[in-house]
Structure 1
Amino acid sequence: MPPLQALVRYSITALILGLCLQLVTGQNEQNRKPLVVKMTPPPKNVKSMETTEIKCNVSTELTECVPIEFSILSNKPLNCDPPPFVQEACICPGVRPRNFYWNVCSEGTVKLYCVAQATPISEICEDEEMVVVPLKGNTAYDYKEFVVQN
């Protein structure tokens, strides 16, 4: 094969491979979750009105920081800590998940929801340069049943 023909053939192959790589990388960027919430399962055998610590964590798969409001909600009224159960934080990539804690107690079994919601309050991330409020996936949650024995 003449050198010029080989050069053209390899150049076209390299160009096609480069375009395919860009397509795959672009799809991966679109599939990243702005917020990922995980809740540690509450302890078993909790007595009515016994104070229990609930732990939730949140992280991001984006390449920018996300200002959030993080809260705990329930399907029935909670006792102990006074509402609101809302905390603010700046969630950045490459940092281990940020943990949040609440002390809760209830008279009966409830479903607890840890909810992270991106907020446009950029002052939350004032020390960070790259901050974004995602248009899609700006809310994430996890829930567990908090079983209370009477």
Structure 2
Amino acid sequence: MPLLQALVRCSITALFLSLCLQLVTGQDDEYDNRKPLIVQMSPLPTAKVNETRELRCNVSTQLKECVAIKFSIYTSPDTSCSQFFQQEACICPGDPPRNFFWNICSQRTVATACLAEIIDDRERCYPNLSVVPTASKRSYAMGKFIVTK
């Protein structure tokens, strides 16, 4: 009888360990490597003082779900002749990168940054399901808007 009990215990333990092994190997290894947001800025053309040029940034995702984003432009120092407004959108997997356009002008050379931030706006991606990751909610790209005299 003790031999039979030991055999049953060993087989239950082996079954449990094989189940755990299947669960571990079944995890998505690419999940940790996917980027929630990828932001790119087009090369900025050179401009003359107060001459308006177009600034283009695009954003995409490597997630398998849609995400609602807020997209904005920042400059340092501030530009005196450009107003930047925040834009919101829904980015879904498989979609081409979403382009955002702004007109920019300045009296001097300025550093520019395109910033995308994931927001909790479930209505923005309706009828698709949108998610909010726990980490990496922001991504940005930086460039320089050169003003010549």
TM-score by length of 2: 0.80
Query: Which ranges in structure 2 are unaligned for 5 or more consecutive residues?
Result: 1-21
Q: Using the TM superposition, give the Cα deviation of residue 75 of structure 1 relative to its aligned residue in structure 2, in angstroms.
A: 1.1
Residue deviations 1:38-61, cap 9 Å, x none? 0001113x1011001000000000
1:43 and 2:45 are equivalent in the alignment: yes
Alignment partner, residue 13 of structure 2: none
Q: Following the alignment from structure 1 to structure 2, what is the Cα–Cα distance between the partners of residues 93 and 113?
A: 24
Residue deviations 1:54-95, cap 9 Å, x none? 000000000000000000101111234434x20000000000
Residue deviations 1:115-138, cap 9 Å, x none? 00000122111231x210111111
Q: Is the 8 A contact 1:79 1:104 kept in 2?
A: no
Alignment partner, residue 3 of structure 1: none
Alignment partner, residue 26 of structure 2: 22
**Pair member with larger Rg:** 2
Q: Following the alignment from structure 2 to structure 1, what is the Cα–Cα distance between the partners of residues 31 and 101?
A: 31
- Percent identical pairs in the alignment equals 45
Residue deviations 1:82-109, cap 9 Å, x none? 34x2000000000000000000101100
Alignment partner, residue 11 of structure 1: none
1:62 and 2:66 are equivalent in the alignment: no
Q: Counterpart of 2:83 in structure 1: which amino acid?
A: P
Query: Which ranges in structure 1 are unaligned for 5 or more consecutive residues?
Result: 1-17
Q: Is the 8 A contact 1:109 1:145 kept in 2?
A: yes
Q: Counterpart of 1:113 in structure 2: which amino acid?
A: A
Q: Following the alignment from structure 2 to structure 1, what is the Cα–Cα distance between the partners of residues 135 and 144?
A: 28
Q: Counterpart of 1:40 in structure 2: which amino acid?
A: S
Q: Following the alignment from structure 2 to structure 1, what is the Cα–Cα distance between the partners of residues 31 and 99?
A: 25
Please show how residues 1-150 of structure 1 align to structure 2 within 5 Å.
Answer: 22=26, 26-44=28-46, 46-83=47-84, 85-128=85-128, 130-150=129-149
Return closer, same or farther for 1:112/1:136 CA change in 2, 3 Å cut-off. same
Aligned residues: 130
Alignment partner, residue 3 of structure 2: none
Q: Following the alignment from structure 1 to structure 2, what is the Cα–Cα distance between the partners of residues 19 and 112?
A: 46
Q: Is the 8 A contact 2:60 2:91 kept in 1?
A: yes
* Structure 2 residue matching 1:69: 3-state secondary structure: strand
